[in-house]
Amino acid sequence: MELMTMAMDGFTLVLANASNSAQGKGVSANAIAANIADPIANTQNTVAASFTQVGVGLHSGATVRVTVLPAAEHTGRVFVRTDQADATPIPATASSVVSTQMSTELGNGAVGNGAVGNGAVGNGAVTVRTVEHLLAALVAAGVDNARIEIDGPEVPLLDGSAQLWMEAIAQVGLQAQSAPRSSLTLTTPLWVQREDAFVVAFPAAEPRFTYGIDFPVAAIGKQWHSWCPSTESFSDTVASARTFTLAHHIEQLRQQGLIKGGSLDNALVCDAQTGWLNPPLRFPNEPVRHKLLDLIGDLSLLGGFPQAHVVAYKASHTLHTEFARRWQET
């Protein structure tokens, strides 16, 4: 999820009633590792059984139920809005992106500018937003094919990270499939850029993701983190990094009708003068690890991990998804 904020009244943080019914099950790192697949293996997987999470959407504030079910080979990861009659499925692909306002929003038809609403735009066309954390967990766990049923307009934020999704996937395990995965290879560098922000990929022997951020706040400042799926566990090093916010951005986003479901339970909040309002951090560089999580979720729209070293700096969902579209066009 993009850098987000929560409601404030003067210097007093106003907490939303955003408690999630989905709670961590205390799944150990070893249990997660034993029940997920190699995300860079050659063949496809689906979940071995369905699982459900219920929680509050960050921007809509709506309580939403999501059920992830097994799907056949070559289905891909597909969202289905069960609250909208006759709504056609929404494939989690780069061509389905309809808005990147503070999160990634997918749709199955012509839509507007992504303003928060019920995600229904008529004629069977619907949207679903804030998909990036769930998608990051699915691709990192090696889930190629899944039917994702959702009864509202936005994937619940849960604790602000991808860890609860990873635990849920590990609890049901994966079902191996025989179909080969598509190869995502690169022969020359590819990039998108806006001023000093960019996403660039270089040909590489194996996937690697590197992210850098630079915030004019002492508690965050300059941070970098790099992750390679062949050598490090996503669950151990990236999945639990939570979304974060700068307190002084809060009122502006409230006026835009956003962050209705934000709370200190699902995001870190940083004040420019006093630092973090709800420590401790899970990692010293948790903010950049969360941005890396967002990048992985957005690039899952390519179908899997690209065989490249992807480097992002001060990027956003807009640049992430623009890069994914550029890759598809090559």
CATH number of the structural domain spanning residue 273: 3.30.1700.10
For residue 187, count CB atoms less than 10 angstroms from its CB and return exposed for 0-12, middle for 13-18, buried for 19 or more: exposed
Please say whether the beta carbons of 101 and 257 come within 8 A: no
Closest alpha carbon to 201 in 328, 44, 95: 328
Tell me the catalytic residues: 317
DSSP 330: -
User: Mean pLDDT per segment of 10 residues, for the chain of length 330 residues?
Assistant: 41 32 52 75 96 91 95 98 93 97 87 44 79 98 98 95 98 97 95 98 97 97 97 97 88 73 85 95 98 98 97 98 96
Q: What is the pLDDT of residue 319?
A: 98
Which pTM was predicted?
A: 0.88
Query: How distant, in Å, are the alpha carbons of 108, 150, 271 from that of 296?
Result: 22, 21, 27
Residues of the domain holding 326:
1-330
Closest alpha carbon to 300 in 234, 253, 251, 255: 234
Report d(CA 59, CA 39) in Å as an integer: 30
Please say whether the beta carbons of 162 and 295 come within 8 A: no
Q: How many domains does the chain have?
A: 1
Q: What is the pLDDT of residue 31?
A: 65
CA–CA–CA angle 251, 254, 256 (5° rounding): 115
Report d(CA 220, CA 232) in Å as an integer: 24
Q: What is the pLDDT of residue 115?
A: 38
